[in-house]
Amino acid sequence: MFDATKIAEKLELEKKDLKHELERKERLALQAIAARSSMKDSLSESTRSLKKAMEDKTSMEENVNKAQEETEYYKKRYDEMFNSVSGLNKRIEELEEHKKHLLAKIKESGDS
């Protein structure tokens, strides 16, 4: 009977140990589930953030392309205006020279 009591106590201790082990493993499982959920949320947030950054990058690239096109347009317009003004200045110089020539002729004919 002493042996049976001792065996029963031993079995009761093993039962308690197994129960504690089971509770510990359940806590670990819950912690793993919570960690997995947290990592999944973090990954989802990172994915959204990456997607937004890619959209922003695309938008900025489009803006840069538009700005480059506008820059080229205005450079071309500037060159056209510069050439036009240069042509007009040249024509003004020619007219000034012609005016001087005509004034000199008038002065010569007035002196005669």
* pTM > 0.75: yes or no: no
Mean pLDDT per 10-residue section of the chain, whose length is 112 residues: 84 93 96 96 97 98 98 98 97 97 89 68
List the end-to-end C-alpha distance of the chain, in Å, as a whole number: 163
pLDDT of residue 112: 63
Q: Which ranges of 1-112 would DSSP assign to H, the alpha helix?
A: 2-111
Q: Which residues does 22 contact at the CB level (< 8 Å), separation at least 6?
A: none
